[in-house]
Structure 1
């Protein structure tokens, strides 16, 4: 099962933010995290009952939570960790309660030279807030972005600013004009519809191809997260909602063995970023849950190996989501105008 996904969907499941390969280790990051944790458990450095949470583990590995989640699913399948009546996983089997331990690199047998411990690239420190700021600004039209002024405003080197903008370019948020100047792509209704058409056409196909390769333990964990979220909504963080979107639209689709299909979908994922940065941040949380029940319907179909129904359910989910996103963007445009960053100027085309 792991061999089927190596080097294909996982590269895109991390959306370019994770360096799957390093000069020292060519295995995917989630497998390296799995191996490091498994070794620490076997050696007793992680004691029985120790509480493992995605966030602290991701911090130690300087990664996002997606590869940690995948590593947890594999460790659970192997019986090295278990679920309990609470958040996270416990080391080992049995009925003992959680032991809260301060997770460190030393506890995991890592040091600065260890290939399992990935150092985060410098651009990641500014990326999330920059993405949010530029998504909001894109609602108000095309803008020129000055790389030098961006670096100065964020207190980083020019190369760091350029790397962050290049990442945004890969997602279709930024582009370079004919004079090679950085330009923020405007988020208007026409563009949203174009991106939506790509998702409607390609995501169901990707899910059908991915379905046989999604580990059952990981799929069941995703289903459980959806059920828990549905029970407490709207008492749910924006981060948690983004995680649920990532589960289906990035992680699950990332198991698709057709790399070219996933590359074609990369820019269309910009629509997920729009919702993440508007709902609950600059826009009120919807009174009714926006997608959780629809995601659950997709996973129910996957649970009974009905990939055709899962794909059609996903197609419907994407189709009905477009009017909601367009409406939220329109409300943002009418009710909120962000302060113009010092590194941005309106562009006329």
Structure 2
């Protein structure tokens, strides 16, 4: 990994201008709706749940999602730009074949079944204020726990974000579900410290469970999602310095979440999710210090994907296990480096516990 800025110059920005939120709320709501529609349809197409050739129309899809046609139209345009939908001599778009080809139009009544959903999608709701501050709160806390043990002051966090204490409390409860924070016997919110032992325990659990989940999920992954993932990691290998924290986190999420998500054992996936603390912390670390991944990490990703494409699921699982082993070594080395660096500048609501 390479660094573009020194640790001492780092600053976590974890505040939200409440006035700005109010001024841009309508625009943000629309963006969120089309993004959700795009992501759900893209996922269903990628895994083959939506059959090639199906004709998608704005009105029926908007009714199924409980929204207007505007975000549906935008989602369709994005899917078309990505090669997942085609235009044709008729209304709407038709779903592309896995190889990008143009199939014959299939005109059937659109329903939750034809869109690949187990049930009707819930109407798209506007994220709560707690959801809007969640990412900033998570990023600050994820970085802090690498440097020690902290108390989270609800009142100061509410003032910094320009929201109520109840909103902060709701967000912290979500982070508690992820294992990032805890509540003391005196109802104080606490986080950290992240220790080498805790990292080792998480990786031990992931090393046992993630390969098993991949073997179960691999045969159910669509060819398109694997093809896109391989293209993404190939681009990253060609130019690692172009991969920022957000892009690396997306690559890691694809490998450790998307590729496992088709496994039918929900309890297995839930247990894996609770052990993803190193992923959260590594994302905050890369973002804070503007780092880029080393090529070896990305080559390990490619090995897993190539085995999945060849339908060699046990080999893919072995490659994933090796990647997790190496990831544990890298993370523990990273913790040693952090131990000798000066503390980053953290938000005032994070108060060190002596």
The answer to whether 1:189 aligns with 2:183 is no
Offset at residue 228 of structure 1 (A) = 2.3
- Aligned with 2:182: secondary structure? strand
Unaligned segments of structure 1, at least 5 residues: 1-54, 95-113
**Given the alignment of the two structures, is residue 220 of structure 1 paired with residue 227 of structure 2, yes or no?**
yes
Q: Aligned equivalents of 1:57 and 1:71: distance in 2?
A: 21
Q: CA contact under 8 A between 1:206 and 1:262: conserved in structure 2? A: yes
Residue 334 (structure 1) aligned with residue 340 (structure 2): yes
Matches within 5 A, 1:306-345: 306-345=312-351
> Are the aligned partners of 2:47 and 2:223 in contact in 1 as well (CA < 8 Å)?
no
Give the conservation status (yes or no) of the 8 Å contact 2:45–2:84: no
1:237 aligns with 2:237: no
CA pair 320-56 structure 1, distance change in 2 beyond 3 A? farther
Q: Give the RMSD, CA atoms, in angstroms.
A: 3.1
Q: Is 1:297 matched with 2:303?
A: yes
Partners of 2:274 and 2:346 in 1: CA distance = 25
Cα distance change, pair 82–61 in 1 and its aligned pair in 2 (3 A):
closer
Once residues 47 and 276 of structure 2 are traced to their aligned partners in structure 1, the CA distance between those partners, rounded to angstroms, is 26
Query: What is the alpha-carbon distance in structure 1 between the residues aligned to residue 86 and residue 234 of structure 2?
Result: 25
Q: What is the alpha-carbon distance in structure 2 between the residues aligned to residue 202 and residue 115 of structure 1?
A: 31
Report the equivalent of 2:264.
Answer: 257
Equivalent position of 2:46 in the other structure:
73
- Structure with greater contact order relative to length (CA < 8 Å, sep ≥ 6): 2
Q: How far, CA to CA, are the matches of 1:329 and 1:196 in structure 2? A: 14
Equivalent residue, structure 2, for 1:59: 32
Pair 1:121-2:95 in alignment = no
Q: Which residue is 2:12 aligned to?
A: none
What residue number does 1:159 align with?
Answer: 166
Matched residues in 1 for 2:44 and 2:32: separation? Answer: 14
- Deviation string, structure 1 residues 28-54 (Cα, Å, up to 9, x no partner): xxxxxxxxxxxxxxxxxxxxxxxxxxx
The 1:312–1:218 alpha-carbon spacing in structure 2 relative to 1, beyond 3 Å, is: same
Structure 2 CA distance for aligned equivalents of residues 294 and 185 of structure 1: 30
Report what 1:208 is aligned to. 215
What is the TM-score of this pair, normalised by structure 1? 0.69
Query: Which residue of 67, 77, 82 maps to 1:88?
Result: 82
Shift of 1:241: 1.3
SS at match of 2:351: strand
Q: Residues 333, 222 of structure 1: CA spacing in aligned structure 2 closer, same or farther, 3 A cutoff? A: same
- Give the direction of change, closer, same or farther, for the CA distance of 1:327–1:65 in structure 2 (3 Å limit): farther
- Listed one character per residue, the Cα deviations across residues 45-85 of structure 1 (whole Å, up to 9, x for unaligned) are xxxxxxxxxx999633464986464156369962578999x
Offset from partner CA, 1:78-103 (integer Å, 9 cap, x none)? 2578999x983474169xxxxxxxxx
In structure 1, distance between residues paired with 2:314 and 2:247: 28
Cα distance, 1:280 vs structure 2: 4.6
In structure 2, C-alpha distance between the alignment counterparts of 1:285 and 1:65, rounded to whole Å: 28
Whole-Å separation in 1 of the counterparts to 2:124 and 2:269: 27
Could you tell me how far apart the structure 1 residues matched to 2:37 and 2:253 are? Answer: 11
**1:162-177 alignment, distance < 5 Å:** 162-177=169-184
**CA-to-aligned-CA distance 1:169-188 (integer Å, 9 cap, x gap):** 12211011222321113112
Aligned residue for 1:234, secondary structure, equals helix
Larger radius of gyration: 2
**Taking structure 2 as the reference length, what is the TM-score of the superposition?**
0.68
CA shift, 1:202, in A, is 0.9
> Displacement of 1:254 after TM fit?
1.4
| Length, aligned pairs only | 273
Contact 1:226 1:244 (C-alpha < 8 Å) held by counterparts = yes
Q: Distance in 2 between matches of 1:141 and 1:266?
A: 23
User: Is the Cα contact below 8 Å between 2:215 and 2:317 reproduced in 1?
Assistant: yes
Secondary structure (helix, strand or coil) at the match of 2:291 reads coil
